[in-house]
Structure 1
Amino acid sequence: MKIAMGADHAGFRLKDELKSYIESLGHTVADLGCNCADSVDYPDYALAVCDQVVSGEADKGILICGTGIGMTIAANKVPGIRCALVSDLFSAKATREHNDTNVLSLGERVIGPGVAQEIVKIWLETEFSNGERHRNRINKVKALEDKYAIHP
């Protein structure tokens, strides 16, 4: 599986640690930056990752900032993205099984690398349950997205 990863200045260290871990699980990682502690704007990196996921260039995406909140907000503005901010193992599994998330957001200042690795592993390995009730709910979210999308 190809995973697009992006982080801002407050998340690049965890991104670098997780990149090696994800590769050790047998996945390919597209590292879309940032790669330094210089202040950058998280929406730029959220968009780069989400563009790859929506286009099919990447199968899934992982975003990291200080709290994960900003990245999650920005990612969920992109049509076709279902991004969840996760800081525990139960939510990592549930967000894949029930919400079919295609982007995971993490906060470097919120969780440590060990927990982040466990979250990522569960999130990458868990399949969408594809049950009728979950599919119906995702379709309703898609309808909201379509209703409020700005069409040029």
Structure 2
Amino acid sequence: MRVAIGSDHGGFHLKEEIKNFLTEKGIAFQDVGTHSTESVDYPDISLNVARTVVSGECDRGILICGTGIGVSIAANKVKGIRAALCHDVFSAQMSREHNDANILTMGERVVGPGLALAIVDKWLTTEFIGGRHARRVCKIADIEK
């Protein structure tokens, strides 16, 4: 698995924590920015991660901003993206099992690093269960058309 990861300035520190976690777990990732706490526009970073996932260059993506809301809204504008804002482990699990979420979004100002890493771990290790949920994910794709 290869993960695209990005943040704006408000999520930079948490992004760095997650990158360390991915490295320790042996999970390949591509950091698409930002690379400092200097102010940037989160839609640009969201688009970078979303395009990397949709193109198949990476299997999944992680986006972080101050709340996780802005990056989620922006990423979900890209056809083929199902970005899920998760601030607890259960939501992360359900976003994968039921919604086949391909981007996880979080807020650095909302979750601490310990919880964030537990969320990332659950999200990356949970598979889509399909079944009746596959029909619903297909309906989401139909809306995009």
Work out whether the TM-score is over 0.5: yes
Match of 1:143?
142
Aligned structure 1 segments of 4 or more residues deviating by more than 2 angstroms: none
Determine the structure 1 residue equivalent to 2:55: 55
1:134 paired residue number: 133
2:23 is aligned with what amino acid? Answer: E
Q: Which amino acid aligns with 1:144?
A: I
How far did 1:29 drift? 1.1
- 1:47-94 alpha-carbon deviations (Å, 9 max, x no partner): 001111000000100000000000000000000000000000100100
Question: What is the CA RMSD across the aligned residues, in angstroms?
Answer: 0.6
Larger Rg: 1
Q: TM-score, normalised by structure 2?
A: 0.98
Tell me how many residue pairs correspond in the alignment.
145
5+ residue gaps in structure 1?
147-152
Question: In the TM superposition, what is the alpha-carbon distance from 1:25 to its structure 2 partner?
Answer: 1.2
* Aligned: 1:45 with 2:7: no
* 1:87-117 Cα deviation digits (max 9, x unpaired): 0010010000000000000100000000000
Q: How does 1:95-106 map to 2 (within 5 A)?
A: 95-106=95-106
For residue 143 of structure 1, give the secondary structure of its aligned residue in structure 2. Answer: helix
Partner letter of residue 46 of structure 2?
A
Identity of aligned residues (%): 56
Q: CA deviation at 1:36?
A: 1.4
